Amino acid sequence: MSASRNGEVIITLGLNLGVPVTPTGVHNGEVFRIDHDGKPIQLTNLFGHLGWAQVSYDGSTVCFGSKTDRNAPVDLMILDLGTNKVSATGLLAKIRSQPGFTGD
């Protein structure tokens, strides 16, 4: 869970409200905003494996880790809260392209 200045925007991760689990038993993670009355509002429909969501100080942007499957490496994603557009940063590929990088 993460909050912007003064708790104006509270972000957390949770299971997709429509399809929380696939037929094969895989959990579908999503980014949520917690409304002032405590109600979770689903912001994404990624049906993915997400982690480490953090909202910016001004409450405009969320960064979070995402991976294509449970065994895949995590990459950094950005969610613009003004447009609800998710963008891949490609950070993992950029790090791996550095000569000194040795881990996943």
66 belongs to a structural domain? yes
**If we measure between CA atoms, which residue out of 44, 81, 98, 46 comes closest to residue 67?**
46
Q: pLDDT exceeding 90 applies to what percent of the chain?
A: 71
Question: Is the pTM for the entire model greater than 0.85?
Answer: yes
102 belongs to a structural domain? no
pLDDT digits (tens, 9 = 90+) for 59-80: 999 999 998 777 888 899 999 9
Task: List Cβ<8 Å contacts ≥24 apart for 87-91.
Answer: none
63 belongs to a structural domain? yes
Rounded mean pLDDT of the chain? 92
Q: Whole domain around residue 27: which residue ranges?
A: 2-96
103 belongs to a structural domain? no
104 belongs to a structural domain? no
| Tokens at 87, concatenated | 């963008």
Query: Residue 104: is its pLDDT beyond 60?
Result: no
Q: Which three-class secondary structure state does DSSP give residue 93? A: helix
How many domains is the chain partitioned into structurally? Answer: 1
Q: What does the pLDDT average to over 78-84?
A: 97
